[in-house]
Each structure stands twice: as structure tokens, then as C-alpha cells.
Chain A
Amino acid sequence: MEGWDPTTKSTLTRIPLLTTKAGPRDGAAWTQRLKEEYKALIAYTSMNKSNDNDWFRISAANPEGTRWIGKCWYVHNLLKYEFDLQFDIPVTYPATAPEIELPQLDGKTHKMYRGGKICLTVHFKPLWAKNCPRFGIAHALCLGLAPWLAAEIPILVDSGMIKHKDDAASSSEV
């Protein structure tokens, strides 16, 4: 965890760790894991809200809890940029991390794999491997997606690759 900012570190320590090592094909054990995922997400979301650092919404898109959809946003120069967020829970979960997708940014940055999967190889995958099975979806958002947005969105905005929705609307009206 060297190299991470103190805020992320202290936030991370307060997200509950998970204990059940189970994937979507493991029946009752998966239900147990799913409960732990929810607890961690609830704790993380309410923590963000109380720290005035609310930055995502996520909920299961199917009853099995294998597909998740939501939104995430990032504030840059006092403007809020919001993106659709989605991912599948892989069959080999939690041995492998979910591949977080921001489909609207597909093709706009090279720090992304096809289909809008953000690159987690360097900053996140080793951490996930080291902490299996204690990390869950909440940790993936905190340590995978949040730093990616912080690093990429300012560059994408400054280079003009993405426009604020107000700008985009006014320029299309002209």
C-alpha cells in the first residue's frame, strides 16, 4: 500500500473486509458472500456521504447479483462529469477481480480495454491478488475505479475528449 494517499488508506481501513470465499456458482456460499458485499457497499457509501465525498451509485442488475450497474461521477474544475458504470462478477470471483466498465468512455482513452474496461493491471490487480478473498466490490471501487477517475478524467477534460453535459448541449444547439 505504499504510494497511496493517506485519505484513501484511512477510508479503506474502514470498509468492512469480506470473509466468504465464494463465486456466483457456489450456491448458498455465494448468497453469504453477496450479503458481505452489500454490507461493505452500505458502509462505504454511507461513509462517503458523511464525508461529503459521495461519488457513485451501484446496484445489482439481476437477482443472482452477478451483474451490477450504476453511475459514477468526478468533479473537475467545479464541474461534475457523470458516467454509466457496469460490470459482471466473473465465474472465478473472487480469485479474479471484476472488470469495471465505463462504456461511454470506450475508445476515448488508451488506458482502457475493449468495451470500456478500465485498466487496473498496475495499480489494482496486485492488491486484489494479495487480499483475496477479503476485498469485494466496494474495495474494487475504492482502490480501482476512484484512482482511475482521478488520474484520467482531468486529462480527458483538458484534452477535449469529454465535454461537460452543459457544454455539449449548448454547442449542439448552435
Chain B
Amino acid sequence: METELKGILDDLKFLQNSFLDPSQQALIDKMRSRVDNVTNLAKSGTMHRAKVKELSAEVVDSNPYSRLMALQRMGIVENYERIRHFSVAIVGIGGVGSVAAEMLTRCGIGRLLLYDYDKVELANMNRLFFRPEQVGMTKTDAAVQTLSDINPDVVLESYTLNITTVQGFETFTSSLRNKSFSPNKEGSGVALVLSCVDNYEARMVVNQACNELNQTWMESGVSENAVSGHIQLLIPGETACFACAPPLVVASGVDERTLKREGVCAASLPTTMGVVAGLLVQNSLKYLLNFGQVTPYLGYNALKDFFPTMEMKPNPQCSNSACLERQKEYILAKPARDAAAREKMSAEVLTEGPLHEENEWNISVVDDNDLTINDTRCSGALPEGLTHELPIADEFEKLPAAESSNDADDLEDLKRQLEALNA
């Protein structure tokens, strides 16, 4: 195609030189510029860049990482190149997950694991990322297609499965455990799991997997009315897990009764989803590359432009047994943590020296910003603008022991009884 276009250009040049009529000259000029445009279009359609070995900070137009590496020069990130060693798992490649995946891909993340069981539909086109020609493809395959074009350096793994089924869960957890990408990493094979799913069941499954694997994860969500969302950091044992308290939702700020929905066709906006994806990946980058403050919970109320934040401690009576184990481990590790903190403090004092030479009155700065909620079940107090989505399970009354007397019942026998009724 390129050689053909070049041929046309040469012919036009020849024509231009052989004609003397100025009116035809203008027409030939126009034709030449059209051929130039087509040539450029053809080039951009087929351009794939080669993989790079090392991230370069060189400021040239052809370096895809120059603006990212500049974060080091600006003093924001100490070592940006570390990003290539991280694996991030994204569960749910919808309005938030796909955009988060693209952001991490453009940032040059080492490896992305993508999980979804859905297909791309025309009804998804009000959101970002997927294109109409991808309708009918699985979301994971369509994402891999686009992302590998954008940045061939990222290792992409796609898992088309439903994580809430027993089998899907097995595949999900074993893929998180797989350490072939970074054999020396402690713990699981991924640095972070991002939950970008749209339902409570799937969130509880991610929670279960991460509690069992002791895996730090971040949860994200956008409300069904598309005008609020949130992100939350979950460190098993250290912060509240998703089952510790009923899920929080950002109150819409308008009378809830006026929001009575017809059916389940949830509303969605590319803006809200883009904002939440941005908040989620921003928090992920801060967590991975160790800069700024990683937020434990950040809500977004689009109607009032209100961003509530809070911290939640784990619930000692959490219904999730893996969460309780992680809590126990976290408490046991407290002395080591304290020692490390003291060491760090004294090291800082040594390098910086005391702020003031004299402190006659022992004045010290204390943090008055301690908005920690301890065991929300007891207090039930939530900061302004947040509410619970589901009620708490009622106290479980132990039924009298008479119940256990017929434990001897045979499962096969019960099956037969039901089949007899079904007949």
C-alpha cells in the first residue's frame, strides 16, 4: 500500500512539472496533500512499537516513559522503574476495571491479570475503553487486544470465568498464588488485587480469597444511580475486611425515597466511572511506588462534590474466619512492628537532628485527625455522608439440642425423599 501511494505521488509530481496551466497546478497540489494524508493514516494504522528493555528517562518524543520517569526528577517518586516488577490483578473488566487496566498499562505496570465472564455489548458504549467493533468479544479478550496495542511491555493474562462458583474460585486463587513472574516476591504472586465488580456477591468472594491469601486489595464501586462511588483499601488483619461490617455506601444527599428505581437497569456515566477508576489507580500507584498517603477509604458524592474519608478497624467478631486469623497474626506481630517504627523514628532524628534544640515544656505534636471507627457494630456511628447498604445479621439463636438428635440422617436418604416429592 505504501509503495502504491508513493507511486501516485511521483506521478503527480511528474504531471505538475509537465503542465503549465496554473489552475491545474492548484488541483494537483490538492491531490498531493490528500495522498500525503492517506499515507499518514495508513502508517498510524499499522504502527506497533517494539518492547523496551529498560525504562528510559530520556526526553524525546519517541520515549513512551519520559513523562513517567520525570516523576523521579520532580521528587514525587523515588524509583519509578520498580513499577515493572509489580503484578496487579483486576477483577471485573467493566466501566471501572477496564479504565483502571488502561491506566496501569499506560503507566507501564509489569503484569496485569484480568478476570471477567461477560461479553462486550452495545449497552456498554456509554462508558470508556471498549469500542463498538468489539461487541460480542469477551471483555477480557477485548481488553487484551487494546492493551497490548497500547503498551506491548505489559504482560497480560486473561481469565474468562465467574469467580463466585467453586471452580472459578479455585482458578482465581491459584492464579493469584502463581509466582512465576516474580519468584522472589513474598506472599502471593501479585502486589495488589483491584476489585472492580458490580455486585455484593463478587466482592465477598474477592474478600474471601484475599483474607485466605493475606493479600492486600482495594475495592471500588459506583452506585446504581451513577452519582456516587467509593474506593477502599483492605489489608487483611489490619483494616476492616469487607465482611467485618455491612458494606458502606455514599449517601446520595437527596431524599432516598425519590430514588425509587424501576427494575435493575443500573444507570452509569463515563464521568463517575472514570473518576472512580482514577481514584483507584492513583491510590494503587501511591501504594505500590510508595509516595504520598494511601487513603483507607474515599467516597465520592457527585451531586454535592463531597469526598468523605474514614478508617475502619477490623471487627473482632467478624463472621469471616480467615479475617479473624489475619487479625490474630496482626496482633501477634505488634512488638516487631513497634520496634521497626522506633528504629525508623530514631534514624530520622539522627539524620535530621531535633527540630528545636530546647523543649523546656515538653511540647509535642499530636495527631488530632484520628477518625478511626472501632467496631462499627457496637457504635454504629459513621461519618457524615456514609450509610450501610445491608442490615447486620440478627443474633443467631442457638436452637435446642433436640435438633441434633436426627443428625444420623443419611444424605442419600434425604435426596431420595426430595426426588420422591419431585416425581
> Within B408-422, which residues are at the interface with A (CB < 8 Å)?
409, 411, 414-415, 417-419, 421-422
Residues of A within 8 A of B398 (CB): 19
Residues of B within 8 A of A35 (CB): 407, 409, 411, 414
Using an 8 Å CB-CB cutoff, how does the interface string of A15-58 with B read, 1 for contact, 0 for none? 00101010011000001101100110110011001000000011
A99 within 8 A of B: yes
Pick from B208, B320, B393, B422: contact of A45, CB below 8 A. Answer: B422
A103 within 8 A of B: no
Instruction: Give chain A nearest CB distance to B147 CB in angstroms.
Output: 23
Using an 8 Å CB-CB cutoff, how does the interface string of B260-282 with A read, 1 for contact, 0 for none? 01111100000000000000000
A110 touches B201 (CB 8 A): no
B37 within 8 A of A: no
B390 within 8 A of A: yes
Pick from B165, B265, B411, B414: contact of A42, CB below 8 A. Answer: B414
B200 touches A125 (CB 8 A): yes
- State in angstroms the CA–CA spacing of A109 and B269 once bound together: 22
B403 touches A19 (CB 8 A): yes
B166 within 8 A of A: yes
A60 within 8 A of B: yes
B307 within 8 A of A: no
A131 touches B200 (CB 8 A): no
B205 within 8 A of A: yes
Pick from B204, B394, B422: contact of A130, CB below 8 A. Answer: B394
Closest to B262 in A: A110
A13 within 8 A of B: no
6 CB-based A-B contacts, threshold 8 Å = A41-B418, A42-B418, A88-B165, A90-B201, A90-B204, A131-B393
Q: Measuring CB to CB, which residues of chain A are less than 8 angstroms from any residue of chain B?
A: 17, 19, 21, 24-25, 31-32, 34-35, 38-39, 41-42, 45-46, 49, 57-60, 64, 66, 70, 88-92, 95-97, 99, 109-114, 119, 121-122, 125-126, 129-134
Contacts A59-B419, A96-B164 supplied; 13 other A-B pairs, CB < 8 Å: A59-B422, A88-B166, A92-B201, A110-B265, A112-B264, A113-B199, A119-B263, A121-B264, A122-B261, A125-B390, A126-B390, A129-B392, A130-B391
